[in-house]
């Protein structure tokens, strides 16, 4: 959807100061550097894998919510977190 925007970028140590400030997460009295990109929209939206691959983990994490980890054919791993729902399970092949 064109309504999906970047809410928080990954922390780039070479980036501009304003971008770095928007890439810091505060949790339990600790500042952390965001290591991914947070996409946001006011409405629920579909999350699509960056490449074909196999689901290697589906979890519900305390801090990060529902998460899906995918291993791609070139051994790249992508992780999708803070999902409202998941429709895949470990071992699923996706494209």
pTM of the model: 0.79
Tokens of 49: 């894998």
pLDDT digits (tens, 9 = 90+) for 56-78: 999 998 878 899 999 998 889 99
Burial class (CB within 10 angstroms; exposed 0-12, middle 13-18, buried 19+) of 16 = exposed
The whole-angstrom separation of Cα 81 and Cα 83 is: 5
Residue 14: per-residue pLDDT? 93
Structural contact between residues 11 and 33, judged by C-beta atoms closer than 8 angstroms: yes
* pLDDT of residue 79 exceeding 80: yes
């Amino acid at each position: 959807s064109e309504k999906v925007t970047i809410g928080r970028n990954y922390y780039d140590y070479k980036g501009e100061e304003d971008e770095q400030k928007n890439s810091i997460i505060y949790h339990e009295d600790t500042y952390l550097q965001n290591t991914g990109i947070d996409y946001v929209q006011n409405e629920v939206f579909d999350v699509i894998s960056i490449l074909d691959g196999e689901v290697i983990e589906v979890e519900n994490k305390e801090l990060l919510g529902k998460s899906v980890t995918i291993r791609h054919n070139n051994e790249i791993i992508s992780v999708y977190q803070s999902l409202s729902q998941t429709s895949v399970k470990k071992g699923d092949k996706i494209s």
